[in-house]
Amino acid sequence: MFENLIEPSVLDALIKFGINVGIILLKIVVVLGITLLHVAYATYFERKVIGHMQVRLGPMRVGPHGLLQPIADGVKLFFKEDIIPAKADKPVFYLSPVIFMAAAMVSLSFIPFTGNFVIADVNLGLLFLFAMSGLGVYGIFMSGWSSNSKYSFIGGLRSTSQVISYEIAMGLSLVGVMMMAGSLNLSDIVKAQENSPFGIFAIPQIVGFVVFVIAAVAETNRTPFDLPEAESELVAGYFTEYSGFRFALFFLGEYIGMFIMSSICAVCFLGGWTMPWYIMKIPFLSYVPGIFWFLLKVYAFIFFYYWIRATVPRYRYDQLMAIGWKILIPVALANILITGLIKILL
Amino acid sequence: MTIKELVKKITFIEILKGMALTFSRMLSKAVTIQYPKERRDIAPGYRGLHALAKHPTIGQAKCVGCGLCAAICPSQCIKIVREKGKVEKYEIEVLRCIYCAFCVEACPYGAIVLTENYEYSDYSREALYMTKDKLLSNWDKYMAGKKGEEYFKRFWRPMSEDFETPPTQASFRGRRDAS
């Protein structure tokens, strides 16, 4: 049919290209679907965990043990009236939740779920993740600016300065991992951990790990660093004026951001889809698929987020900045220095 | 800063202690009572919705309309109308009541009680304006049989078991010299 128009070799290449695109699209659909479901049930998980930590029950009414609560919430959000403030900067107001959400969504494509399931196996994957989390701040700041409300504006400003400060600490805490793995490719980092004597980088890079955990909580604007959305001072912070579907986008973005941070932690410090050799010595564990280990680590870290939220009160803003600049960054720098020295000397 | 304080800061010992506490609380049983499905046990002598006591043998209201309850009521929510030796109206505006049970204490005949019913919310004020008929039916609903007798024996202050009302429906006519 096409023989007259295209040479057979070109046609073959085109078909191969088409198949590749189809596979990538399929992967994207799978990841997106699972992530959206994950976000819905992450809210349920959070409410249950925090409820039980406060000796309450959490959601119990919709479905058995409140299992359908996230779906009810989602339906409610989609059918709510979409209110736009009269004095809002409308184009920016429309755009900012999309930026926030898209930046979070794009990050998903770099995460290696198992050894052979990653949408984009980029050599600079780690750097790309930083870039995307930095881009998400634009969504927050623009939403705070365009809402034309003092609460939103203060929330947006706080979020911007907080995320920028903690991004430095987070990036520096991961430099140690990059040096040990010798690569920025996330799959290579996991493989380097598998071959390292400790099995996971969290043990030799314990300082970097602690700095990363603190910075990750601050980076996603979660308690105790949730000053951008401090309820007692700022109503809801940068998304005060948003409602309905646009609010849902911010919500999705925040929970996907948590998922991304947990994934980075699992991949860079906890060994991703592999387990250390000394744990794999236990019989039958080698039959467990890698995705299970990956999700186990991710959800353990997400549980840690909730646990922290149920325990620690919010910091004051100057304390937050002092922790970021005066403690975390020097500690992370010292960690890099020591890691480098050990790498040269050994 | 002493070395002890420094070690405390570096190891996050205080935050870890707090996290251990929240974790142990997570494993403990929640105190929530799932209200419509489960209910809290009502303490004996609970002061809920009002009822007018009925005479155990005759089945008529014990109330003679003396008006002591209306006199003592701090929120003045009891309204009594006597006509021709009968208690014509005995009405309680439940929305104004503060459930102090002074009326129960003041009554010399043991004619008014507070039942254990606390689920009587409604959509209109009229539904919560208790007329004599409603108050009497409350007695049948919540205090019928042994429960009503027990109530007087256990929760009447000052303690007394002699609440003899005249066998026929009587009414207090006020002081004779006053009329």
Q: Where are the domains of chain A?
A: 1-79, 83-345
For residue B86, the cross-strand partners are B83
pLDDT in tens, A42-64: 888 888 888 888 888 888 888 88
pLDDT for B178: 47
pLDDT in tens, A24-39: 888 888 888 888 888 8
CA of A57: which chain B residue's CA is closest? B30
A95-101 mean pLDDT: 88
With a CB cutoff of 8 Å and minimum separation 6, the contacts of A325 are A165
Q: How far apart, in whole angstroms, are the C-alpha atoms of residue A22 and residue A300?
A: 33
Query: Is the Cβ of B10 closer than 8 Å to some Cβ of chain A?
Result: no
Backbone angles phi, psi at B90, to 5 degrees: -135, 105
| Structure token digits, residue A38 | 């994950």
Between A150-181 and A186-195, two packed helices, what is the crossing angle to 10 degrees? 50
| Interface test mutation site (partner A, options B1, B15, B19, B22, max chain A beta carbons within 10 A) | B22
> Using the beta-carbon criterion (under 8 Å), do B32 and A57 form an inter-chain contact?
yes
Q: Crossing angle of helices A244-268/A290-311, nearest 10°?
A: 120
Question: Is residue B91 within 8 Å of residue B78, measured between CB atoms?
Answer: yes
- What is the CB neighbour count within 10 angstroms for residue A167? 18
Query: CA-to-CA distance for A322 and A330, rounded, in angstroms?
Result: 11
Q: What is the pTM of this model?
A: 0.79
Whole-number average pLDDT of chain A: 84
Q: What is the DSSP letter of A283?
A: T
Chain B residues with beta carbon closer than 8 angstroms to that of A327: none
Q: How far apart are CA A138 and CA A316, in angstroms?
A: 24
CA distance A303 to A309: 10
User: Could you give the CA distance from residue A26 to residue A20 in angstroms, rounded to a whole number?
Assistant: 10
Q: Are B52 and B147 a contacting pair, CB within 8 Å? A: no
What residue of A is the nearest CA neighbor of B29? A55
Residue whose entry in the numeric block shows the structure tokens 């203060």:
A154
- Chain A residues with CB inside 8 Å of B15's CB? 311-312
Q: Taking phi first (over 0 means left), then psi (-120 to 50 degrees means alpha), and beta for anything else, what does residue B6 get?
A: alpha
Q: Which of B21, B26, B34 sits opposite A52 (nearest CB)?
A: B26
Cβ atoms B80, B167 nearer than 8 A = no
Chain A CB within 8 Å of residue B57 CB: no
Asked whether A307 and A53 are in contact (CB, 8 A), the reply is yes
pLDDT given at position B179: 44
pLDDT of residue B142: 84
* Cβ–Cβ under 8 Å, residues B107 and B53: no
Nearest residue on chain A to B26, alpha-carbon basis:
A53
pLDDT in tens, A169-211: 888 888 888 888 888 888 888 888 888 888 788 778 888 888 8
Q: Dihedral sign, CA of B153, B157, B159, B160?
A: negative
- For an interface test with B, the pick among A49, A56, A57 (most B C-beta atoms closer than 10 Å) comes out as A57
Residue indicated by tokens 């080698």:
A286
Q: How confident is the model at residue A150 (pLDDT cuts 50, 70, 90)?
A: confident
Q: What is the pLDDT of residue B174?
A: 58
What was the pLDDT predicted at A161? Answer: 86
Instruction: Report the pLDDT value the prediction gives residue B175, as an integer from 0 to 100.
Output: 57
Among partner residues A56, A57, A311, which is closest to B22 by beta-carbon distance? A311
Note the pLDDT of residue B173: 58
| Of the candidates B68, B146, B82, B168, the residue with the CA atom closest to the CA atom of residue B112 | B68
| Environment class of B41 (CB within 10 Å of its CB; exposed 0-12, middle 13-18, buried 19+) | exposed
Q: What is the pLDDT averaged over residues B43-47?
A: 81
Cα–Cα distances in angstroms (integers) from residue B155 to residues B104, B105, B114, B115, B163, in the given order: 10, 9, 10, 12, 14
Residues 6+ away with beta carbon under 8 Å from A189: A126, A177, A178, A181, A183, A201, A267, A268, A272
Per the structure block, which two tokens stand in for A253? 């973005």
- pLDDT(A278) > 80: no
Rounded Cα distance between A153 and A74, Å, is: 27
Q: Do A312 and B34 touch (CB under 8 A)?
A: no
Q: How far is B118 from chain A (nearest CA, A)?
A: 23
What pLDDT sits at residue A268?
86
* Residue B15 sits at the chain A interface (C-beta within 8 Å): yes
| For testing contact with chain B, the best of A46, A50, A52 (most B CBs within 10 A) | A52
Q: B interface mutation test: which of A211, A311, A326 has the most B CBs within 10 A?
A: A311
Q: How far apart are CA A275 and CA A261, in angstroms?
A: 19
Classify residue A223 as exposed, middle or buried by CB count within 10 Å of its CB (0-12, 13-18, 19+): buried
Interface of B with A in 100-129 (CB under 8 A): none
Query: Least CB-CB distance to A55: which of B18, B19, B30?
Result: B30
Q: Cβ–Cβ of A53/B32 closer than 8 Å?
A: no
From chain B, the residues in CB contact with A55 under 8 A are 25, 28-31
Please state the rounded mean pLDDT for residues A268-277.
Answer: 81
Lowest mean pLDDT among A320-324, B116-120, B150-154: B150-154
pLDDT in tens, B16-27: 888 888 888 888
Query: Would the pLDDT of B160 be above 60?
Result: no
Backbone phi and psi for residue B158, each to the nearest 5 degrees, phi listed first: -70, 155
* Alpha-helix residue ranges (DSSP H) falling in chain A: 8-53, 69-79, 90-108, 125-146, 150-181, 186-195, 206-219, 231-234, 244-268, 277-280, 290-311, 317-322, 329-345
B6 touches chain A (CB under 8 A): no
Q: CA angle at residue A271 from A48 to A340, to 5 degrees?
A: 125
Q: Is the pLDDT of residue B151 over 80?
A: no
Which pLDDT score is estimated for A272? 79
pLDDT of residue A322: 87
Average pLDDT over residues B99-103: 86
Task: Tell me which DSSP letter residue A326 carries.
Answer: I
Indicate left, alpha or beta for A17 from its phi (over 0: left) and psi (-120 to 50: alpha).
alpha
- A312 touching B (Cβ < 8 Å): yes
Q: Which residue of B has its CA nearest to A56?
A: B30
For residue A216, the one-letter residue type is: A
Mean pLDDT across A315-335: 87
Q: What is the pLDDT of residue A232?
A: 75
pLDDT of residue A251: 83
Partners of residue B114 on adjacent β-strands: B50
- B78 DSSP β-pair partners: B92
With an 8 Å Cβ cutoff, are B18 and A60 in contact?
A: no
Task: Using alpha carbons, select from B110, B47, B52, B100 the residue that is nearest to residue B73.
Answer: B100
Facing residue for B18 by CB, picked from A52, A60, A311: A311
Q: Which of residues 26-65 of A touch B (CB under 8 A)?
A: 49, 51-57, 60
Structure tokens at A276: 């250390």
